[in-house]
Amino acid sequence: MIEVENLVKEYGEFRAIDNINFTVGKGEILGFLGPNGAGKTTVMRILTCFFPPTSGKAIVAGFNCFEDSLNVRKRIGYLPQKVPLYEDMKVHDYLRFVAAVKGTPAKEVNRKTAKVMDDCGLSDVSHKLISTISGGYKQRVGIAQALVNDPEVLILDEPTVGLDPKQIKEIRSLIKELAGRHTVILSTHILPEVSILCGRVIIINKGKLVAVDKPENLASENTKKMFLRISGNAQMIERELAATGGISSFEKEQVAGDACGFVVVFDDEKRGRQGIQSMIEKNNWDLLEMRPLETSLEDIFIKLVTKEEA
Ligand SMILES: Nc1ncnc2c1ncn2[C@@H]1O[C@H](COP(=O)(O)OP(=O)(O)OP(=O)(O)O)[C@@H](O)[C@H]1O
Ligand SMILES: [Mg+2]
């Protein structure tokens, strides 16, 4: 549904997007992750025909974003990071207007507008001027205008920013329901959101693609952390851990009772485990607990992004 090939975007001398390639299948929800300034919004702006790339190709719903932009724009809904709204319109008038502009047949405009207002929790403010509603409600209007024509492809730049927890949950389940029928790209800084919503995730850093995978694969590939609870002298345990091969770092964790807790990170898991076993036997300590810890998406994100910087 979306194909991006050797995409480059330069702002003057500055290369904001550096040779990015990816595809998104029909019905997929793809998450964009990356630190501030990574280039997420820039890629989205190219895909939504806001501006052309410097070089490379972007195809959305079978049409080239540069050569055939009207056909692309007919098929997408876009929530920009900063939502531009007509503040002097009332919410329902604005949404009806957007539906009509997007080519919704006149007899369907009212039904589609009512549905999207219901889905986005806007019914209470439908007769208010947009200038008088709160920031979170403006964000909801932004999401509603992206959805109103039931587009094939949705591009959502940080869709849940500024929403209250209840609305975040509702908008997330709304986005989740769209999967299958619609193709969605969303950017976010909320990493659990990616695990909840996205079938696949792309991590961008400084304009370059640093990872593409399912969130669970990214996490499991990096599962090399272990929690240990040992009954023994804390200082001695620390000394032994520092001298054990296969362990790249460890941290003391607060645990209840007399025992000592540690989170251990391996660079060679087998060797590290064997080292821990023999240090326990040698010192006659009690190993009370040893369990793998799942590396969070946060850890992986930081690792990938800082590795690039190093
Ligand atoms: N119109 C512009 N002119 C010049 N530079 C720009 C322009 N828009 C973006 N940039 C630069 O391009 C880079 C990528 O910006 P972009 O907005 O795509 O990042 P982002 O990943 O969306 O970041 P954020 O998480 O902060 O929204 C940044 O260094 C930014 O300063
Ligand atoms: Mg952005």
**Cα separation, 138 vs 83, whole angstroms:** 8
Ligand 1 pocket member 245 (CB < 6 A): no
Name the residue of 9, 11, 43, 185 to mutate for ligand 1: max ligand atoms within 8 A of Cβ.
Answer: 11
Ligand 1 pocket member 188 (CB < 6 A): no
More confident site: 23 or 291: 23
* Ligand 1, atom nearest to 207 Cα: 14
CATH architecture of the domain with residue range 224-293: 2-Layer Sandwich (3.30)
Kindly list the distances between the CA atom of residue 45 and the CA atoms of 78, 229, 267, in Å, as whole numbers in the listed order: 9, 50, 40
Q: Where in the chain is the domain with CATH 3.40.50.300?
A: 2-219
- Token pair recorded at residue 240: 């032994």
CATH topology of domain 2-219: Rossmann fold (3.40.50)
Can you give the pLDDT at residue 170? 83
Ligand 1 pocket member 82 (CB < 6 A): no
For residue 209, is pLDDT > 90? yes
Ligand 1 pocket member 36 (CB < 6 A): yes
Tell me the per-residue pLDDT of 19-78, one tens digit each, with 9 for 90 and over: 999 999 999 999 999 889 999 999 999 999 999 999 999 999 999 999 999 999 999 999
**Cα separation, 160 vs 173, whole angstroms:** 12
- The bound ligand whose nearest atom lies closest to the alpha carbon of 33 is 1
Distance 186 CA to ligand 1 centre (A): 16
Q: pTM here?
A: 0.79
Tell me the per-residue pLDDT of 138-168, one tens digit each, with 9 for 90 and over: 999 999 999 998 899 999 999 988 888 888 8
Composition of the chain by helix, strand, coil, percent to 5: 40, 30, 30
Q: Where in the chain is the domain with CATH 3.30.70.3100?
A: 224-293
